[in-house]
Structure 1
Amino acid sequence: MEQKIVLITGGSSGIGRSIGNYLKSKGYKVYGTTRDLNKYPDFSDFDLLELDVRNTGTIAMAIDRILTKDGRLDVLINNAGVGITGPIEETPHEEILKTFETNFHGPLHMIKAVLPQMRKQGHGRIINVTSIAGYMGLPYRAIYSATKGALELTTEALRMETKDFGIHISNLAPGDFATNIASGRYHAPVLTDSPYKAPYGNTLRLIDEDVDSGSDPKLVAIKVYGILNTKKPKVHYKVGSFMQKFSIVLKRLLPDKTYEKLLLNHYKL
């Protein structure tokens, strides 16, 4: 059996790195990406390429390098993403646009770049790493939720558009996992004279606590491996605690205002 060639965006740390190491241990040839190779001079887990999902030039160069070396690309895992928090009213719009550029437009750039090769091969797998937050509008995380929700819906359409090419596309929505996402997240400052000062400050602390106490990202890697070895993968997958996954079920079952009250109670708002 030929060794499968995998490209993982945002592969230098966190969930992406866990996925890369796990797939490598299962016999896949893994390429990860990072925006700045100079930050990882000693990285040796797997091949790391310089790529910025916001820059189509760097995407083309990285994919060309893989195809020149290996002749094909079997799997794309769109994992690169950034966090953002803040009251919508006080979040600079340029930061909102930057987040969409990475979390939504970035995966689309990647997909557009790999589809011609996958179509030529007659096969390919794409997994878009979204978020359980993409299933609901969360207070002070509205923009992050919106970017992930947009990617979830776009994947639904892409699956239908590419169904005749032997390409399978799925979403994987993680809950809270112990990663360094908080360190790279943009968060609007808690302003001393803001009407949102107390509720936003408290919510920000709760968000950080959830990430700090999150599960091992290896669980996401195991789920990815399972999806890649499913003959007919589903549209949507979730990985996280029972309550995180159950929150999606509740949103579907409960009246809107009842569900809203549950979120308000959770965040103590």
Structure 2
Amino acid sequence: MSPTHTAQLMDGTGLARRIVEATATNAAEISQRTGVAPCLATVLVGDDPASVTYVRMKRARCAKAGIRSRHIGLPASTTTAELVDTLTALSHDPQVHGILLQHPVGPGIDERAAFEAIAPEKDVDGVTMHSFGTMSFGLPGFVSCTPGGIMRLLDEYGVELTGKQAVVVGRSPILGKPVGMLLLAQDATVTYCHSRTADLPAIVREADIVVAAVGRPRLIHGQDVKPGAVVIDAGYNPGNVGDVDFDTARTRARLITPVPGGVGPMTIAVLLAQTVEAAAQQCHGLVG
């Protein structure tokens, strides 16, 4: 790439807006046909300021999309058993179609046990082992929202994945691992990297597609980006900083997501779309 090259930005905000508009249309159709409005239950343990903000933002987006939201706030002292009981009750509530447990839930709670209390048909955040399994095998189910949003962005910008080298930096069960599986399903050759990967820059330099999802500010530097690569920054760190050094990476990449305005809006858009899809499945046959 020339010194004056600047990558095209992948506009997650604009694409997310279109997804939410289509979701609102679908939600209105379900409400009109069945008399039931899609409903997302949000569960928050404690009062972490960032988590409170995220939940408030998701509930506001629900309202815009014609999705009812029910919020359950639990004290920081909540035990794993109490949280599991809450999620189990929501799983059995016919008026709730999707469940979002805001994470992280705090050091005193077994997060995996809590996630597994969510019924698969209401796991619109794609966090259960069931959802990961169906996604990995290409079966019907809900994908993890951030990976799902990343795949929609890649599709929107016509990124060819077949035969390409994709490097995923990060291995969390709701981001790094599932996005790698989704890329693999599209015939990319996938390499997972993480905090213990030896000579990470050398591996990143071979990547046609880089997904940074490790939670370390500016870990990926521009000189380590292959000229013409597609760079997806799924990191979000204090100060609106991603896992990629944006200013240097954009001089070498062909496409790059900004932070904010790239992956983040897509995560919420997929959450809302999957909530309405869950409602459609659960309300099937009620009327019409």
With normalisation by structure 1, the TM-score equals 0.35
Higher relative contact order (CA 8 A, sep 6+): 2
Point out the structure with the larger helix share.
Answer: 1
